[in-house]
């Protein structure tokens, strides 16, 4: 039973939080942090070799969280596996109790810590969504019948800060047409940008629930770096100035997160938190909102 699905389909506001598997086999911290905030979160998105850096597999950490009663969103990228391995991993994930999947293309290999790795990209994110839909329908990608089929709740990524925006809207519509039943967005710092994205998405006829992406900026330097280097992340100058001028950067950063949530909550169906090591501050971010 997927709480995320139930909530989003019932029109209730949902909250997800990213959890990154460790580089190594020691999961003590990751599991402890997740358990501490579990009461505030509907599901944990477990990343799949985020930024192309080698880490423990998403499916293993998902399983360990599920064993502790914590719901997960199994993130899956097309970077490292061909269509055989993707389908096989999906069947395995379902057998291990995962119901929510986030279908992603994945960062390119050269951006990570193993830049010489073979980039696969046998499928793209839309074909992966289509694949999940086929598996849900009881057959594999080439039409072979499955012995027992999964009932995944598939989601996809969207980027409100994309420039130009129109191709992003069209791609999001394609994702919805090929099975995406929720969207989690790239980090948002400018609610006007997000509002425009939502307006265009709805105008394009896409009614799929959207969860606004929230990622705390740890310093003004990080804000400037992200603004300049991370595709689609737009950080207004005023936000960078707020962080520069703040006497307590942590406090200010959390305030910014809470503010963006308050400004965008009425426009969308949920929040997707990406604390990136600041899991301990998740309660403060949520406390600071009207949710």
Partner 1 sequence: MILSEPKPWEEIEGYLEGDDSVFLLGCDGCDAATGDGGAERVGELSGKLDEGGWNVTGTKVIEFLCNKALAGMKLARISDLIEESDSLLVSCCGIGVQAVSKLVDKQVHPANDTVSMGDFHGTWPSEETCKRCGECLLEYTGGICPLTMCVKGLLNGACGGSYEGKCEVEPDRPCGWELIYERLKDVGRLDLIEEYNPPKARQKYQFGVPMENRNSLYWAIEAEEGE
Q: Give the residues lining the site for partner 1 (CB under 8 A).
A: 78, 83, 104-108, 110-111, 119, 121-127, 130, 141, 157, 159, 162-164, 166-168, 170-171, 173-174, 177-178, 186, 231-232
**CA-closest candidate to residue 260, choices 233, 239, 282:** 239
Residue 159 or 258 with smaller CB distance to partner 1: 159
Residue 80 has phi, psi (to 5 degrees) of -110, -5
Residue 9 or 177 with smaller CB distance to partner 1: 177
Residue 146 or 230 with smaller CB distance to partner 1: 230
Rounded Cα distance, 74 and 60, in Å: 10
Rounded Cα distance, 100 and 24, in Å: 25
Rounded Cα distance, 179 and 193, in Å: 26
Eight-class DSSP state of 145 = B
The least distance separating partner 1 from the CB of residue 14, rounded to whole angstroms, comes to 21
CB 273 within 8 A of CB 226: no
The least distance separating partner 1 from the CB of residue 285, rounded to whole angstroms, comes to 23
The least distance separating partner 1 from the CB of residue 157, rounded to whole angstroms, comes to 6
The least distance separating partner 1 from the CB of residue 81, rounded to whole angstroms, comes to 13
The least distance separating partner 1 from the CB of residue 110, rounded to whole angstroms, comes to 6
CB 188 within 8 A of CB 256: no
Residue 177 or 263 with smaller CB distance to partner 1: 177
Cα dihedral value 210, 276, 19, 272, nearest 10: -10
Residue 56 or 222 with smaller CB distance to partner 1: 222
């Amino acid at each position: 039973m997927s709480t995320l699905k139930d909530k989003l389909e019932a029109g209730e506001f949902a909250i997800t939080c990213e959890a990154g598997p460790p580089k190594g086999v020691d999961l003590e911290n990751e599991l402890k942090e997740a358990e501490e905030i579990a009461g505030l979160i509907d599901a944990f998105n477990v990343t799949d070799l985020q930024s192309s850096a080698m880490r423990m597999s998403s499916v293993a950490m998902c399983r360990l969280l599920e064993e502790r009663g914590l719901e997960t969103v199994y993130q899956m990228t097309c970077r490292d596996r061909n269509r055989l391995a993707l389908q096989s991993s999906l069947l395995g994930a379902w057998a291990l109790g995962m119901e929510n999947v986030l279908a992603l293309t994945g960062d390119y290999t050269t951006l990570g810590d193993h830049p010489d790795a073979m980039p696969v990209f046998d499928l793209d994110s839309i074909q992966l969504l289509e694949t999940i839909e086929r598996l849900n329908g009881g057959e594999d990608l080439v039409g072979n019948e499955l012995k027992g089929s999964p009932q995944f709740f598939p989601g996809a990524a969207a980027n409100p800060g994309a420039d130009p925006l129109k191709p992003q809207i069209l791609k999001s519509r394609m994702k919805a047409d090929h099975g995406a039943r929720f969207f989690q967005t790239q980090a948002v710092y400018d609610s006007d940008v997000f509002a425009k994205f939502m307006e265009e998405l709805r105008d394009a006829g896409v009614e799929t629930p959207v969860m606004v992406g929230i990622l705390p900026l740890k310093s003004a330097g990080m804000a400037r770096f992200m603004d300049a280097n991370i595709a689609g992340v737009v950080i207004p100058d005023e936000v960078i100035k707020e962080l520069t001028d703040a006497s307590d950067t942590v406090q200010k950063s959390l305030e910014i997160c809470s503010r963006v949530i308050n400004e965008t909550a009425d426009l969308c169906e949920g929040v997707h938190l990406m604390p990136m090591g600041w899991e301990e501050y998740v309660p403060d971010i949520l406390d600071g909102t009207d949710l």
